[in-house]
Amino acid sequence: MAPSKKKHASSECCVIPGGFTVLSLKFSSDSVSQHKLYVKEHRVRAEKSSHRPLDRTLFVLNLPPYCSQDVVRDLFSQFGTVQSVELGDHPGSFKESGPRLSRFFKPPETQGFKVGYVVFQNSTSIAAAKSHPHDVPLVVCTDERPVLTGVQKWTRQYTESFIQVDKLQKIVDSFMEEYDKAKEEEAEQQRKEAEQQQEDEEGWVKVTRGHKGAKARPHSEAANQRTLRKEMRKKKRKELMNFYTWQHRNTQKEHIAELRKKFEEDKQRIALLRAQRKFRPY
């Protein structure tokens, strides 16, 4: 049987179920084996963070361990200017919400395949990355941007693990200055709130309005304690001692019986005083 003269389509993108586009990846130009990346436009409606625009963010799966943020930035820079790169162990919001710490105070990163979010400067870069031919692999290590692996990588990591004392001292001093500044601002804010919530000579408390016309609540510790005590007293007053109807009926009967008993006792005492001629109303 003669071979078919029909040629397979080349230089075309490969799209798999789920909407992911397959991109080939090679560590170096002379590597025989290839690695597959799966990219997709990031479109999550629940995502409200500003650092991942829905029209300029590319979601990347199956990133190998040797692909750092700089490597990923260089790989996707051929499709357009890359604004930011985020790498994580699993999809989701793994951006730091607190103050940015130095690498000396962070736990060691887990080694393994990662997911990434690549934010481009223009939305047209997303279409360029998705239309990249799957038979044209992206090269990680080149002469312009060498990537160390194996013993060379471990040697560099071991060398970088030694921290210079003066450099570490500068980082610690800078962090402590920012921490002290934040504490001073917090103390000043608490002092202003305490002054605003302080009672005047007549016992009145000035209550200001917050944003959108909402009534501001006192946030000082003393005001919170006063509010808590007031709520507890109100709760005690509203406690229902007789919740059921039959309990309320029995309580009324007992109260009437006590009143009758007291009335009879008063009648007997008055009669006794009259009998003893000690009752002198005038």
pLDDT band for position 9 (50/70/90)? very low
Q: 67 near 147, Cβ under 8 Å?
A: no
> Predicted confidence band at 105 (pLDDT cuts at 50, 70, 90)?
low
Do 229 and 258 reside in the same domain of the chain? no
Residues 141 and 33 in one domain: yes
What the block records as the tokens of 56 is 């300029």
When pLDDT is cut at 50, 70 and 90, the band that residue 165 belongs to is: confident
206: which 2 tokens?
């000035």
CA distances from 45 to 20, 52, 239 (A): 18, 12, 47
User: How far is residue 189's CA from residue 183's CA, in Å, rounded to a whole number?
Assistant: 10
CATH of the domain at 148: 3.30.70.330
Looking at the DSSP bridge assignments, the partners of residue 86 are 117
Shared domain check, 148 and 33: yes
Half-sphere exposure of 258 (CA within 13 A, CB side): 6
In whole angstroms, give the CA distance from residue 69 to residue 85.
6
**In-domain check, residue 166:** no
Q: Are residues 191 and 247 in the same domain?
A: no
Tell whether 100 and 147 lie within a shared domain: yes
Distance CA 226, CA 242 (A): 29
Nearest to 119 by CA among 81, 64, 65: 81
Residue 111 lies in a domain: yes
In a domain, 149, yes or no: yes
- Secondary structure in 3-state letters for 90-154: CCCCCCCCCCCCCHHHCCCCCCCCEEEEEEECCCHHHHHHHCCCCCCCEECCCCCCCCCCHHHHH
Q: In this structure, are 108 and 32 located in the same domain?
A: yes
> 3-state DSSP call for residue 40?
strand
**How many structural domains compose the chain?**
3
Q: Assign 8 a pLDDT band (cuts: 50, 70, 90).
A: very low
147-154: average pLDDT: 78
One domain, residues 257 and 227: no
Query: In the prediction, which pLDDT does 210 show?
Result: 55
Angle at 104 between CA 99 and CA 108, to 5 degrees: 95
| Residue 42 shares a structural domain with residue 136 | yes
Query: Does 246 lie in the same domain as 135?
Result: no
Answer for the pair 95, 35: CB distance below 8 angstroms, yes or no. Answer: no
Q: Are residues 44 and 120 in the same domain?
A: yes
Domain residues for the domain of 191 are 182-197+217-239
Is the model's pTM score more than 0.75? no
pLDDT digits (tens, 9 = 90+) for 215-231: 555 555 667 777 888 88
In a domain, residue 279? The reply is no
Do residues 188 and 89 both lie within one domain? Answer: no
Evaluate whether residue 7 is within a structural domain.
no
The residue that leads in pLDDT, 203 or 51, is: 51
Residue 1 lies in a domain: no
- Work out the pLDDT band at 113, boundaries 50, 70, 90: confident
Partners of 121 in the β-ladder: none
* CA nearest neighbour of 126 among 82, 95, 88: 82
Q: Residue 188: inside a domain, yes or no?
A: yes
Mean pLDDT for all residues in the chain = 78
Mean pLDDT of 10-26: 82
pLDDT digit string, tens, across residues 122-150:
989 998 988 888 888 888 888 778 887 77
Q: Is residue 148 part of a domain?
A: yes
Q: Are residues 150 and 221 in the same domain?
A: no
